[in-house]
Amino acid sequence: MSTTAVNTMASLPTPSKFKLPQEASIFLVLLGIGLLFEGLGWYVNGQSFLFNLDRLQIIILQMAVIGIIAIGVNLVIITSGIDLSSGSVVAASAVVAASLAQVSDFPRAVFPALTDLPIIWPLLAGAITGLMIGLLNGSLIAFTAIPPFIATLGTMVAARGFAKWFTGGMPVSMLTDDFAWIGSGANPVIIFLVLAVIFHVVLRHTRFGKFTYAIGANRQAAIVSGINVNRHLIWIYTIAGLLAGIAGTVTAARAISGQSGMGVMYELDAIAAVVIGGTSLVGGKGRITGTVIGVLILGVMTSGFTFIRIDAYYQEMVKGAIIVAAVIADQYRNKKKR
Amino acid sequence: MTETATLERAVDAPPTPESPPLLAIRGIRKGFPGVVALDGVSFTLKAGTVHALMGENGAGKSTLMKIIAGVYIPDQGQILLKGQPVTLSSPIDALKQGIAMIHQELNLMPHMTVAENVWITREPRNRFGLVDHRELKRRTEELFERLHIDIDPLAEVQTLSVASRQMVEIAKAVSWNSDVLIMDEPTSALTEKEVSHLFRIIRSLREQGKGIIYITHKMNELFEIADEFSVFRDGKYIATCAASDVTRDDIIQMMVGREITQMFPKETVPIGDVVLSVKNLTLDGVFHDVSFDIRSGEILGLAGLVGSGRSNVAETLFGVTPASSGSITIRGQQMVIDKPAKAMAAGMAFLTEDRKDTGCFLCLDIQDNMDLAVLNSRYVNKLGFVQSDALAKDCSEMARRLRVKTPSMHEVIQNLSGGNQQKVLVGRWLLTNPSILILDEPTRGIDVGAKAEIHRLVSELAGQGVAVLMISSEMPEVLGMSDRVAVMHEGRITGILDRKDADQVSVMSLAAK
């Protein structure tokens, strides 16, 4: 939105104090954590943590999949909902996409008649799998009025079950090189960034985005203002499912294999990234830029702990503490405003 | 403001030193941000009497009641219980000191039994420290016998009728050995037969020497059950009388007795054709057979007590709660309005009653709050992109016209005063260029200046040919602004008065049958 057009009200002074955007403070946190590991890195390992192109690449690559999911989860949380199904959707769409990407000289293909397909088919199949589960989430929430927590808890369990049934517990492997290309090099990162830019624009500059914030800020007022809240929520959850489906497809391509155990706990990492990025669980507030920074914070932490050789168990404890701290900080900010 | 009804002020006899009254309130003052709800109010409740509190909406009855029940702490004044000054710091504190309140909306746990509900927090224990269900049942039976209540102590509360639940609430209040019982509209959901049972119980409580504070909007009940009543108006105590000494008209006089100030700049504008015509509109169980017409340029006031169904009619007109039957005709064309978007497409706008619950998006800024209702139609291109510059320009123009006081359109609406929030919401609807404007309590809880500006604006809009339906609990506002006044009582329109025939007494007697 253009700020230049509005900020002069009649006979009132324009605000003189410059307000930092909310993202600035989160970015400072990211920077602080980065510098902390930089210092610790020199102390423990005698080398730089940040100024290492390979490591930065790995951090971003690792987090691209979580990032793609987090974009959708961010939309959901802005409407004051929650989506627990994304991790299982990753598994479901990974195995479906992989099953249509197998090479013909593999004797135990899931669909022996459907091998060596053009890359578009596994891509579409993976995305549509996610989209359908998202549509189911949205419809359940809109038409039965059950809480999003319960609806997506149900699909979380069911989608994981679907993935196990679909594969019979075996990995779907021997995938085409074309399909593997999607997950290679910087491709996952490019997909993540393109999606982030698209949804940033959607949230800031379209009616769809404005309705999303309005529903989260006050559902009743949104209804009275003529917004078809149910239809909008179905769209939101469907988009979240689609994005998780894309994330699943990318995951399968990166691993060159589709497995029913993929994406476990990804939904929680995504929620954590969104919350750390300043999106309020109460709804009505949050930006994609914040979420991107939140994803980076998670990535830097994981990578940093590994770098200074701290045990993975400790890592999870600290990660938990940071998520809780982010929510406390959010509540503190809200209280101060009132 | 002149007081026309000070004549009966003398009945309140000073308490005799040897037998102090059960409950005495002296000089209570209670303010909320922006309003003084009670101003120097005194009131005396004698043991063994039923004392009704009377007054219009906003007269201060509920505030006084909540102070007596320990919900609010007064800013000033004294509460004497049997002659002893007390402080009531919370409802539980009041309960322990012998003051129990029976709420209008019942506070029982539906999945627990009657006995468990009555004795909650005071369950008898057996020697293992577990709840002694046999003793619980016995105590409940004993209590019910004393009150002539016939309800199975082991029934789950959700299986009971509303009337029976009411009885359980009363029994619960009595079980605390309360001397003072406060009943807020206890008969609002009861049938005639249930009411007479309730009254029998109230009479037996009175014989046991309890003092009962009774709030009602129903005049005939007042004469049937109350011994004395006190009238409040605009947060002030007006008079206390014995029910046997006065007539219904006297009481209405006392409740409304004030003159209308010249705050409402009603302009005479040409009245055009019928824009909105409502016939036999019904929402089952809420309101019935509501019919009225509004012409262009006309302001139809909709008066009635809180709970008479006024806001429900507005919500149904706007498609929030679609009607069960009846018709809505707009400019000669009958319409089915089952969602707000359809109402908006037909040129309607609806400023809701509750600014916080159904109006503001509190965490969003002024711009986002104002532009939301026009995103369905204008300012959006085919791809769904918002044309921010045009939108921002028109919104700030509207904010200027409504004199919204804010440093910028990007101020979060939460930080604005109630009056300014209301102006932003009015702006939201004016941007839609409505031809039918529904206003539900447009000036509730806002300061005098903002109030006058909104009144001026509504008159101006009517002058431009907008048909206005204005719901208001403020009698002077309704009488001052309206061309005609429709009055609702218990879900029905009891009369539509022309401006020249509408005065406080005629409206009140239609509103409180």
Q: In this structure, is residue B136 part of a structural domain?
A: no
Nearest to A1 among B362, B388, B399 (CB): B388
Residues A297-315, mean pLDDT to the nearest whole number: 84
| Residues B476 and B342 both lie in one domain | yes
pLDDT over 60 at B1, yes or no: no
Residues A147-166, mean pLDDT to the nearest whole number: 96
In this prediction, residue A245 carries a pLDDT of 97
How far, rounded to the nearest angstrom, does the alpha carbon of residue B245 sit from its chain's CA centroid?
29
Of B278, B295, B296, which is closest to residue B287 (Cα–Cα)?
A: B278
Nearest to B350 among A6, A10, A224 (CB): A224
In this prediction, residue B256 carries a pLDDT of 73
pLDDT over 90 at B318, yes or no: yes
In this prediction, residue B470 carries a pLDDT of 95
Contact between chains at B361 and A217 (C-beta distance less than 8 A)? yes
Interatomic CA distance for residues B445 and B428, integer angstroms: 19
| Residues B339 and B472 both lie in one domain | yes
Average pLDDT for chain A: 87
Q: In this structure, is residue B264 part of a structural domain?
A: no
Look up tokens 């498609």; give the residue: B319
In this prediction, residue B244 carries a pLDDT of 85
Give the helix/strand (H/E) hosting A124. Answer: helix A120-144
In the Cβ-directed half-sphere of B324, how many Cα atoms lie within 13 Å?
10
Contact between chains at A223 and B407 (C-beta distance less than 8 A)? no
| Residues B403 and B376 both lie in one domain | yes
Of A200, A202, A231, A229, which is closest to residue A216 (Cα–Cα)?
A: A229
In this prediction, residue B3 carries a pLDDT of 42
Maximum average pLDDT range among A125-139, A275-289, B84-98, B406-420: A125-139
Question: pLDDT band for position B15 (50/70/90)?
Answer: very low
Count of C-beta atoms within a 10 Å radius of residue A147: 11
Contact between chains at B372 and A210 (C-beta distance less than 8 A)? yes
Residues A74-100, mean pLDDT to the nearest whole number: 96
Q: Helix A148-167 and helix A86-99: axis angle, to 10°?
A: 30
Residues B221-230, mean pLDDT to the nearest whole number: 88
Nearest to B386 among A205, A224, A228 (CB): A205
| Residues B357 and B420 both lie in one domain | yes
Q: In this structure, is residue B153 part of a structural domain?
A: no
Residues A2-24, mean pLDDT to the nearest whole number: 48
pLDDT over 90 at A218, yes or no: yes
**Complex-level ipTM:** 0.80
CB proximity B360 to A under 8 Å: yes
Closest chain A residue to B386, measured at CA: A206
| Residues B31 and B1 both lie in one domain | yes
Question: pLDDT band for position A15 (50/70/90)?
Answer: very low
- B357: domain range? 348-433
pLDDT over 70 at A13, yes or no: no
Question: pLDDT band for position B104 (50/70/90)?
Answer: low
3-state secondary structure (DSSP) of residue B368: helix
| Residues B301 and B254 both lie in one domain | no
Find residues 378-437 of chain B whose CB sits inside 8 Å of chain A. Answer: 380, 383-386, 388-389, 392-393, 395-396, 399-400, 404-410, 412, 414-415, 428
| Residues B76 and B3 both lie in one domain | yes
Closest chain B residue to A213, measured at CA: B364
pLDDT over 50 at B165, yes or no: yes
Residue in B372, B412, B413 to test binding to A, most A beta-carbons within 10 Å: B372
3-state secondary structure (DSSP) of residue A229: helix
Q: Which two tokens stand for residue A181?
A: 């290309």
Of B17, B14, B127, B29, which is closest to residue B72 (Cα–Cα)?
A: B29
| Residues B282 and B324 both lie in one domain | yes
Chain B residues with CB inside 8 Å of A214's CB? Answer: 361, 364, 368, 372
Interatomic CA distance for residues B197 and B220, integer angstroms: 16
Condensed to tens digits (0 to 9), the pLDDT of residues B29-44 reads 988 765 678 888 998 9
Q: In this structure, is residue B214 part of a structural domain?
A: no
pLDDT over 60 at B260, yes or no: no
Report how far apart, in Å, the C-alpha atoms of A25 and of each of A28, A52, A326, B46, B355 are: 5, 25, 12, 63, 32
| Residues B361 and B390 both lie in one domain | yes
Q: Return the amino acid letter for A206.
A: T
Q: In this structure, is residue B73 part of a structural domain?
A: yes
DSSP-derived secondary structure letter, A51? S
Chain A residues with CB inside 8 Å of B358's CB? Answer: 218, 220-221, 224
Interatomic CA distance for residues B397 and A223, integer angstroms: 26
Interatomic CA distance for residues B177 and A322, integer angstroms: 52
Q: Which of A192-201, B99-108, B162-171, B429-438 has the lowest mean pLDDT?
A: B99-108
Closest chain B residue to A223, measured at CA: B340
3-state secondary structure (DSSP) of residue A161: helix
Count of C-beta atoms within a 10 Å radius of residue A124: 15
**Tally of helices (H runs) and strands (E runs) in chain B:** 16, 20
Of B111, B225, B371, which is closest to residue A209 (Cα–Cα)?
A: B371
Condensed to tens digits (0 to 9), the pLDDT of residues A201-216 reads 999 999 999 999 999 9
Residue that is last in its domain, among B380, B411, B433: B433
Q: Return the amino acid letter for A263.
A: G
Interatomic CA distance for residues B263 and B477, integer angstroms: 8
Interatomic CA distance for residues B71 and B73, integer angstroms: 7
Closest chain B residue to A12, measured at CA: B407
In this prediction, residue B263 carries a pLDDT of 58
In this prediction, residue A14 carries a pLDDT of 41
Q: Which residue would you say has higher pLDDT here, B220 or A335? A: B220
Burial level of A111, CB count in 10 A (0-12/13-18/19+)? exposed
Condensed to tens digits (0 to 9), the pLDDT of residues B356-404 reads 889 999 889 999 999 989 887 678 888 889 888 889 999 999 999 888 8
Condensed to tens digits (0 to 9), the pLDDT of residues B449-475 reads 778 888 889 999 999 999 999 998 888
Question: pLDDT band for position B320 (50/70/90)?
Answer: very high
Closest chain A residue to B369, measured at CA: A214
| Residues B336 and B470 both lie in one domain | yes
Average pLDDT for chain B: 86
Contact between chains at A225 and B340 (C-beta distance less than 8 A)? yes
Q: In this structure, is residue B492 part of a structural domain?
A: yes
| Residues B248 and B397 both lie in one domain | no
Q: In this structure, is residue B131 part of a structural domain?
A: no
Condensed to tens digits (0 to 9), the pLDDT of residues B278-297 reads 999 999 989 999 999 999 99
Percent of chain B with pLDDT over 90: 41
pLDDT over 80 at B217, yes or no: no
Contact between chains at A13 and B407 (C-beta distance less than 8 A)? yes
Q: Which residue would you say has higher pLDDT here, A110 or B491? A: B491
| Residues B427 and B285 both lie in one domain | no
The length of chain A, given as a count of residues: 338
Residue that is last in its domain, among B207, B232, B259: B259
Count of C-beta atoms within a 10 Å radius of residue B191: 12
Q: In this structure, is residue B498 part of a structural domain?
A: yes
Condensed to tens digits (0 to 9), the pLDDT of residues A116-129 reads 888 899 999 999 99
Q: Which of A272-281, A292-301, B274-283, B412-421 has the lowest mean pLDDT?
A: B412-421
For chain B, the domain total comes to 3
Cβ-based neighbours of A223, under 8 Å, separated by 6 or more: A229, B320, B340
Report how far apart, in Å, the C-alpha atoms of B233 and of each of A332, B35, B226, B300 are: 42, 14, 19, 25
Condensed to tens digits (0 to 9), the pLDDT of residues B133-159 reads 899 999 999 999 888 888 999 999 888
CATH of the domain at B420: 3.40.50.300
Question: pLDDT band for position A54 (50/70/90)?
Answer: confident
Of B425, B426, B412, which is closest to residue B363 (Cα–Cα)?
A: B412
Nearest to A14 among B343, B372, B408 (CB): B408
- Phi and psi of B42, rounded to 5°? -125, 155
